[in-house]
């Protein structure tokens, strides 16, 4: 039973990590453009 | 502004582990559902965040149409993007919970169906946004779409699941005004909703600031 709760939590944090990763990718692209 | 942002971040940083402790350790499991009932303290706040995304994208769209500031178009896009991700998370965590409670991942319950429709509304928005080439037209048409989506959303979230027979527990905004939750459960749910709302605004703020930076860099490069 607790396993399902932990799986749900892992899914939620994977989604949030994905959003943060997207921001990181945008910032990296910006950094590159500024340095060019 | 910097101080408010720092304070907001510190509160969120303290509140999040507290919510985890409350939801996973402190609060007793619900009768009948056992330990699996703890999903409630994460599933409901995520679902709430996807509703919040609708409200925010509608709000930014109104600001865009009234002021014609392109930043608001980007903010509306970011809010909708977060809404899409949160809607997917709502559907996945909901189906995990459905499997525990009803032994089926999907039942076409009115609330499950309305969650999928909300998800499709976001998907349609991104299809519309990417299909329009002219920047001005794209901004205006997609803003109108998001305002309509924000107006329609309450019917899917709060009204349709109440009109039809549902297996879903009507925990937060129930018609009988009784949640059936113990006090410790209510406190945990409210704390979790507060923490996830703060997290939503924190990530949205990061996305918006990145979009503004990108816009400034693009404009400067076009001028050069």
| Residue showing tokens 């404009």 | B219
pLDDT in tens, chain B (224 residues): 788 888 888 999 999 999 999 988 888 887 777 788 888 899 999 999 999 998 999 999 999 999 888 899 999 999 999 999 999 999 999 898 888 888 888 888 888 888 888 889 989 999 999 998 888 889 899 999 999 999 988 888 777 777 766 666 554 445 555 556 788 888 999 999 999 999 999 999 999 999 999 999 888 887 77
ipTM: 0.90
Q: Does A2 touch chain B (CB under 8 A)?
A: yes
CB B171 within 8 A of CB B40: yes
**Contact by Cβ (8 Å): B42, A12:** yes
B124 contacts chain A (CB < 8 A) = no
The sign one gets for the Cα dihedral B201, B202, B207, B211 is positive
Q: What are phi and psi of B134, to 5 degrees?
A: -70, 125
**Which chain A residue has the Cα nearest residue B43?**
A8
Interface test with B, best of A1, A3, A4, A5 (most B CBs within 10 A): A5
SS3 B30: strand
Specify the 3-state DSSP secondary structure of B109.
coil
Owner of token pair 């109104």: B62
Count of residues in chain A: 36
């Amino acid at each position: 039973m607790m396993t399902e709760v932990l799986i749900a939590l892992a899914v939620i944090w994977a989604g949030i990590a994905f959003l943060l990763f997207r921001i990181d990718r945008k910032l990296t692209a910006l950094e590159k453009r500024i340095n060019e | 502004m910097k101080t408010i942002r720092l304070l907001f971040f510190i509160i969120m940083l303290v509140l999040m582990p507290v919510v985890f402790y409350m939801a996973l350790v402190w609060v007793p499991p619900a009768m009948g559902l056992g330990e699996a009932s703890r999903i409630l303290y994460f599933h409901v706040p995520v679902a709430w965040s996807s509703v919040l995304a609708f409200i925010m994208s509608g709000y930014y769209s109104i600001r865009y149409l009234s002021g014609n500031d392109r930043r608001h178009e980007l903010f509306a896009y970011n809010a909708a993007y977060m809404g899409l991700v949160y809607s997917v998370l709502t559907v996945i965590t909901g189906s995990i919970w459905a499997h525990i409670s009803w032994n089926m991942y999907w039942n076409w319950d009115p609330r499950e169906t309305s969650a999928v429709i909300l998800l499709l509304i976001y998907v349609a928005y991104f299809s519309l946004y990417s299909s329009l080439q002219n920047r001005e037209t794209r901004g205006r048409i997609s803003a109108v779409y998001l305002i309509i989506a924000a107006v329609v959303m309450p019917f899917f979230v709060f009204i349709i699941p109440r009109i039809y027979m549902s297996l879903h527990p009507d925990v937060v905004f129930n018609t009988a005004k009784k949640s059936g939750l113990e006090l410790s459960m209510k406190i945990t749910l409210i704390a979790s909703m507060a923490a996830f709302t703060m997290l939503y605004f924190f990530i949205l703020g990061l996305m918006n600031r990145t979009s503004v930076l990108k816009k400034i860099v693009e404009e400067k490069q076009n001028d050069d």
